[in-house]
């Protein structure tokens, strides 16, 4: 196909492409943070939710017709999108962001898999008459210019394009779909979450993993979803059923995403290298948050060329209270959200949400505090994730003795990260 001009691509993005964000997973590996909220609604980076990253990618990529499909514990996610995201879309121009809960319009079941979630909402998606549909995972933290992937999809004449990334085989085992590609990046093999992934040719120890991001030609997608719904043995999943079946008969290509060095075109889009992290476990979630407060973080939240947007309530600026020489409120190598008050306490290498209060002589180190957390006087917090609204009693120590932490009812991971939720 003749290469698209930038103006042609922009028209297709704004008027002929719909995005479908899959935001209904249970997120059981992030328990206990997902006991009261969906995984995409889990706070991240102090003032964001995980879903803000995929929605920001859509907005920055000029995708302005977005369906967000929810299922489990979707109330906080629904509220967050309604409060923070609708203002970016102009209904008069045909733009929208719709949060769509399960409606059981086609069958009397909840979503059986990722493909079934899209199939059960096929009427709403078809009503927009899109030519291309982008299927996106709503539970990863990443920066990605979807324009590059959509351009490749159209110019290659693909039926399906799958975003792919090289990851260590041990990381992919049982967690990601793994693919094999030919010289032209056409996918010739696909295995969903194998326990022993095959290494890439010429790169031992690494495999090519699916990022759960797909671009479909709309007519092809609708046909495949209807066929899959009538296949009794199907598990109604893109990775398990739709993609492997399509590889045998149709044009299925990989879009190679690099967050190590990036292609010249990718780097030009961001002013820095792209970024992608799966934050599906407590350990990976903790590490991704800690990455943000490095001197030169891999994920740059301060890049005006690729803004990460969110719901930001009206709050005063953060305040640091110094009252006497040994009561100095300060935060070092940390990110502190609006409305927070560090009142004579010490914060080091931590991420604090909004309206957090750290009282006199308290210390917070290597920790993540969600909104409205109160750390009592003389308390000591280390390597903790503290859920919204938790009040840490005066003098409590957490993150120093795993046995003592468990006695308090806190969740302690094998890596020694302590998770404190309300009523724990």
Q: Give tens-digit pLDDT for 288-342.
A: 999 999 988 888 898 888 999 999 999 999 999 987 777 889 999 999 999 999 9
* Token pair belonging to 400: 């120093």
Using alpha carbons, list the distances in angstroms from residue 422 to 382, 384, 387, 412.
18, 14, 7, 15
E strands, 279-352, where?
319-324, 327-328, 330-332, 335-336, 341-343, 346-348, 351-352
* Tens of pLDDT, residues 47-61: 999 999 999 999 999
Q: Where do you find CATH 2.160.10.10 in the chain?
A: 319-420
Segments of the chain assigned to CATH 3.90.550.10: 6-291
Give per-residue pLDDT as tens, 103-122.
766 666 777 788 889 999 99
Q: Angle formed by the axes of helices 6-15 and 146-156, to 10°?
A: 100
Q: Which of 221, 54, 210 is nearest to 121 (CA)?
A: 221
Cα→Cα distances 141→38, 127, 360, Å: 15, 30, 34
Cα–Cα distance, 173 to 54 (Å, whole number): 24
What is the strand order of the sheet 380-382 is part of? 330-332, 346-348, 363-365, 380-382, 397-398
pLDDT band at 34 (very low <50, low <70, confident <90, very high): very high
Cross-strand pairs, 385: 368, 419
Q: How far apart are CA 307 and CA 288, in angstroms?
A: 18
Cis preceding linkage at 221, omega within 30: no
CATH classification of 319-420 is 2.160.10.10, yes or no? yes
pLDDT (0 to 100) of residue 424: 63
- Fold of the CATH domain 6-291: Spore Coat Polysaccharide Biosynthesis Protein SpsA; Chain A (3.90.550)
Nearest to 27 by CA among 15, 36, 16: 36
CA-wise closest residue to 203 among 280, 258, 266, 139: 258
Q: What sign has the CA pseudo-torsion 394, 400, 404, 410?
A: positive
CA 395/CA 231 separation, integer angstroms: 60
341-383 pLDDT, tens digit each: 999 999 999 999 999 999 999 999 999 999 999 999 999 999 9
């Amino acid at each position: 196909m003749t290469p698209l001009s930038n103006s042609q691509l922009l028209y297709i993005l704004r008027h002929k492409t719909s995005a479908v964000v899959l935001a209904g997973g249970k997120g059981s590996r992030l328990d206990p943070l997902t006991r009261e909220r969906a995984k995409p609604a889990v706070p991240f980076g102090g003032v964001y939710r995980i879903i803000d990253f995929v929605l920001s990618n859509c907005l920055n990529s000029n995708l302005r017709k977005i369906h967000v499909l929810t299922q489990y514990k979707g109330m906080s996610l629904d509220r967050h999108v309604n409060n923070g995201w609708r203002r970016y879309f102009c209904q008069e121009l045909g733009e929208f962001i719709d949060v769509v809960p399960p409606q059981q319009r086609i069958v009397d079941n909840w979503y059986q898999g990722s493909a079934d979630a899209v199939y059960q909402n096929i009427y709403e998606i078809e009503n927009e008459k899109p030519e291309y549909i982008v299927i996106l995972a709503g539970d990863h933290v990443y920066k990605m210019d979807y324009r590059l992937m959509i351009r490749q999809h159209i110019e290659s004449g693909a039926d399906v394009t799958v975003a792919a990334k090289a990851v260590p085989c041990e990381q992919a085992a049982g967690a990601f779909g793994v693919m094999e590609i030919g010289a032209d990046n056409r996918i010739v093999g696909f295995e969903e979450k194998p326990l022993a992934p095959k290494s890439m040719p010429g790169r031992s120890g690494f495999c090519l993993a699916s990022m759960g991001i797909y671009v479909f030609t709309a007519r092809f997608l609708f046909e495949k979803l209807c066929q899959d719904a009538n296949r009794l043995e199907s598990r109604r999943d893109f990775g398990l059923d739709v993609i492997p079946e399509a590889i045998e008969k149709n044009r299925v290509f990989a879009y190679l995403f690099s967050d190590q060095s990036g292609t010249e075109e990718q780097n030009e889009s961001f002013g820095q290298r792209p970024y992608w992290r799966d934050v599906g476990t407590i350990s990976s979630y903790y590490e991704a948050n800690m990455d943000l407060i490095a001197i030169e973080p891999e994920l740059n939240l301060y890049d005006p060329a690729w803004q990460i947007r969110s719901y930001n309530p009206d709050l005063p600026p953060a305040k640091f209270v110094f009252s006497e020489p040994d009561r100095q409120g300060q935060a070092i190598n940390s990110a502190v959200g609006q409305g927070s008050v560090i009142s004579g306490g010490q914060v080091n290498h931590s991420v604090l949400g909004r309206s957090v209060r750290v009282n006199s002589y308290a210390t917070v180190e290597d920790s993540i505090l969600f909104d409205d957390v109160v750390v009592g006087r003389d308390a000591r917090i280390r390597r903790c994730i503290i859920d919204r609204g938790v009040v840490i009693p005066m003098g409590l120590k957490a993150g120093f003795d795993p046995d003592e932490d468990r006695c308090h009812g806190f969740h302690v991971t094998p890596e020694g990260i302590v998770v404190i939720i309300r009523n724990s």
